[in-house]
Structure 1
Amino acid sequence: MIFVALLIIFPLGWTVYLSLTDAEGSVRAAKEFVGISNFIEVLTDTDRFWPATGRTFAFTAVVLIFEVVLGMATALLLWRPFRGEKWVRVAILLPLVATPVAVGMMWRLIFDPNIGLANTVIGWFGIPPQPWLAGQATALPTTMFIDIWQWTPMVVLILLAGLTSLSDEPQEAALIDGANAWQRFRHITLPLLMPTVIVAILLRGIDALKTFDILYATKGKGGGSFHEVETLNVYAYGLSFDYNDYGISSTVLIIFFLIIVGSMWALTARRKDAA
């Protein structure tokens, strides 16, 4: 536990220290203590920081809603035994096998506006070619789709584990009383499964907030030429490794860390209430 604590405390403490200095060029270069001026500069930055914050929350909210809804629907379909269920489960879990960078590169080829398969397929239905990742308005929704495609199976696994642990007696009693499928789900299954749903939201929500690899693999530096998919993670990475502005970058990371901790606390409190 001491070893793990040191692995967390030292990097966090060093980042806090850098956030209070004007460190740039090199972390070993001479630096001056500037107090909270970096935080004031970041929090008043309406060109990059706040738009990146908005994209971060928009990305997280959209993918989380779709992944939980689709994950719940799929888990309910897989809940009861059926012929070939093992093969279906394997097929559903395949997106989790690949690394996010490989997934990003694969979908980047599929959504290529000139040679990509996506425009070829929609062309069969008379739909004109779309810019997908190349468009300012379509890039962020497209990356959301990629994240949903890869990580919905994780939600399915969590919810399916919760469903299989539920007792059959409440379902059987409701069935005898004449409750239909929707009524059984709404009044029995969902309330009993709510602690597991909160766990799925907690795990995927925190992970979605920190999404970096898919965005960087599909759009590169700065989240695109017009920063169309630049989230806080991508923004902080660019400040550190593209501009070597370690003081501002550390400030962004500390603010981002506080956002993540606050979100985790809120979801954990909601889980206790649900339990």
Structure 2
Amino acid sequence: MTPIERFLEKHVKTIFVLPALLFVGAMIVFPIGYTLYLSFFEWSMSPIDGPIWVALDNYRHLLFSDERFWKAFGRTFYFTFGAMLFQLVLGVAIALLFNRNFRGKNLSKTLFLLPMVSTPVAIGLVWLLIYEPTIGFANQFLRFFGLNPQLWIASPTQAIPSLILVDVWQWTPMITLIVLAGLATLPQENYEAAKIDGANTWQMFWKITFPLLLPTIFAAGLLRMIDAVKTFDLIYAMTQGGPGFATETLNIYGFQLGFQYFQLGMTSAMLMLFFVLILLLCLLVVKLRKRLEVS
């Protein structure tokens, strides 16, 4: 056997996987690298005037001069953590319900998962009709119970909570699925011992189920946080950042900077800051989860 044949036989697994790794790496590294490169330039996509080197001016403007950026930043995390909090609470509660045996359980689970498999734009258009102030189902529902109709997404103060409600309706099933998978792996011996000791349902949940499920809940929350902070299609389909700037998140602001104002350098700088913020947030959640597992 020649040296080349020995090398191939020894590293055959790596050789077969390497093309896929290189392709995926290029698909990740190139966009991030090119975005970082553009963030140091001022460019309006003009075929006549090329990119102009401005060093860190785009970052300085966003961080110290652009009030709109910071307001969009606040709205982004208001939407993200508001949606994630409700989804985690409801997802765990519904998973505990589906973990029991009752008539129509399989049908209920199937119907419950339908929002998750729908496209966000279609959901946004349907909820636009539901939130319509005059003939929408939401206000008709309120009138039926004698409550005052609301403006929903037409109100600057109610717009983001209304969007959070739609996001919770769509993505709570994902949290439920993950928690259900975690519940299926819990050891039953602990519950049998607790029943012998006379523990009630609430005590078993608080002392056994919740601590054992905590890593699963953190994983579900991390996945949902990463996805929610990037939400664009639902918000753009329903409000396009309005009314005014009431629902303008960083994603909407970046889209408008890039494709309406053609400030590609500023947009790239904002996306890099956004990328770093998400990365730091994910590292913080992972570190917190490890501390809880140790303790």
Normalised TM-score (structure 2): 0.90
191, 197, 210: which one aligns with 2:211: 191
Counterpart-to-counterpart distance in 1, 2:107 and 2:215: 28
Q: Helix, strand or coil for the counterpart of 2:89?
A: helix
2:264 is equivalent to residue 246 of structure 1: yes
Q: Does the CA contact (< 8 Å) of 2:154 and 2:243 recur in 1?
A: no
Normalised TM-score (structure 1): 0.96
Map 1:198-213; keep pairs closer than 5 Å.
198-213=218-233
252, 274, 279: which one aligns with 1:261: 279
Percent identity over the alignment is 46
Letter in 1 for 2:209: T
2:104 is equivalent to residue 84 of structure 1: yes
* Alpha-carbon offset, residue 38 of structure 1: 0.5
* Alpha-carbon offset, residue 129 of structure 1: 1.9
Counterpart-to-counterpart distance in 1, 2:47 and 2:148: 50
Instruction: Please list the CA deviations of residues 125-146 of structure 1 after superposition, one character each: whole Å capped at 9, or x if unmatched.
Output: 2222211011111111100100
* Alpha-carbon offset, residue 46 of structure 1: 4.6
Counterpart-to-counterpart distance in 2, 1:129 and 1:62: 23
* Alpha-carbon offset, residue 124 of structure 1: 1.3
Counterpart-to-counterpart distance in 1, 2:253 and 2:129: 24
Letter in 2 for 1:83: R
Counterpart-to-counterpart distance in 1, 2:209 and 2:28: 39
Counterpart-to-counterpart distance in 1, 2:47 and 2:88: 41
Q: Which residue of 2 aligns with 1:69?
A: 89
| Structure with max Cα Rg | 2
Counterpart-to-counterpart distance in 1, 2:231 and 2:47: 25
Query: CA RMSD of the aligned region, Å?
Result: 1.3
Q: Helix, strand or coil for the counterpart of 2:53?
A: coil
Q: Which residue of 2 aligns with 1:150?
A: 170
2:178 is equivalent to residue 162 of structure 1: no
* Alpha-carbon offset, residue 47 of structure 1: 2.8
Counterpart-to-counterpart distance in 1, 2:47 and 2:75: 29
150, 157, 160: which one aligns with 1:130: 150
2:104 is equivalent to residue 60 of structure 1: no
Structure 2 unaligned spans of 5+: 1-20
Counterpart-to-counterpart distance in 1, 2:207 and 2:104: 30
CA shift in 2, pair 1:187/1:97, >3 Å: same
Instruction: Please list the CA deviations of residues 48-73 of structure 1 after superposition, one character each: whole Å capped at 9, or x if unmatched.
Output: 10000001111111111100000000
Q: Helix, strand or coil for the counterpart of 1:156?
A: helix
Q: Does the CA contact (< 8 Å) of 1:21 and 1:32 recur in 2?
A: yes
* Alpha-carbon offset, residue 45 of structure 1: 3.5
Q: Helix, strand or coil for the counterpart of 2:132?
A: coil
Pick which of 76-85 and 243-252 moved more. Answer: 76-85
Instruction: Please list the CA deviations of residues 54-103 of structure 1 after superposition, one character each: whole Å capped at 9, or x if unmatched.
Output: 01111111111100000000000111222211001001101112101111
45, 51, 57: which one aligns with 1:25: 45
Letter in 1 for 2:216: T
Q: Helix, strand or coil for the counterpart of 1:121?
A: helix
